[in-house]
Amino acid sequence: MIRLSVKQEMAHRKLARQFITQTKAIGAKHVLVTSVQNLDGKTILSKILVRELKKIGEHSYDLFTFDELKADFEPDQMMVKTIVDGPAYYDPDGLTAIPERWMQTFDAALISVAVRKTDVSELAELIDWLRQYGFKHIWPILNYMEDPLSKIKKPSKKSTLKNDENVIEALKEGIR
């Protein structure tokens, strides 16, 4: 078991509290967690969020992977609040392969943004794609955790998270 620093635990707790505030404000029941590429930390983000929600007494969200969810439910049968660890946008069998009837079930999307890995133009493309699908609530989460299996790229000097208007707008709307 990995021991977290107090600073990490406080950041996780803050994320959970802000998630509760944001989801209650919009009445979100089903939240999709995604990322641009595989290994950007969406599964870690999903698990941390559900764990922290339980720690602060908010037991109302269940965690599913998208494969588990589609095997057990139809979109109109989802009665519990869910956090869905979905596929990545650029995964060949990923986000774009999810049927529209499922995409319409989600009230919001969390995007795990791997700080030293995610390309800003690809992030902007994902945000645009989610908006075209009708997502009004898109919350990028800057993920500073490094997956030991991923190949970490150095950030490009030309392309940063700060110089793309769509990304800036989504970050302003997102959970801080």
So what's the pLDDT on residue 35? 93
pLDDT tens track for 43-98: 888 988 888 898 888 767 888 888 887 776 676 776 678 888 999 998 877 888 88
Residue whose token pair is 């869905």: 84
What's the pLDDT tens digit per position in 106-119?
889 999 998 778 88
Domain limits, the chain: 6-173
Our measurement of the distance from residue 106's CA atom to the centroid of its chain's CA atoms, rounded to an integer in Å, reads: 12
Structure tokens at 90: 């650029």
Which pTM was predicted? 0.78
Q: For residue 161, what is the DSSP state?
A: G
Of all helices (H) and strands (E), which one includes residue 93?
none
Collapsed DSSP state (helix, strand, coil) of residue 84:
strand
Report how far Cα 141 is from the mean position of its chain's Cα atoms. Answer: 7
Q: Please report the pLDDT score of residue 15 as a whole number.
A: 87
What three-state secondary structure class fits 165?
A: helix
| Angstrom distance (rounded) from CA 52 to CA 99 | 30
Contact 172, 139 (CB under 8 A): no
pLDDT band (50, 70, 90) for residue 150: very low
Higher pLDDT, 152 or 34: 34
Which uninterrupted H or E stretch holds 132?
helix 120-132
Distances (CA, A) of 155 to 114, 147, 159, 165: 11, 16, 8, 18
pLDDT at 154: 37
Residues found in the chain: 176
- CATH architecture of the domain covering 6-173: 3-Layer(aba) Sandwich (3.40)
Residues with Cβ within 8 Å of residue 115, at least 6 apart in sequence: 142, 143, 144, 155
Distance CA 75, CA 66 (A): 12
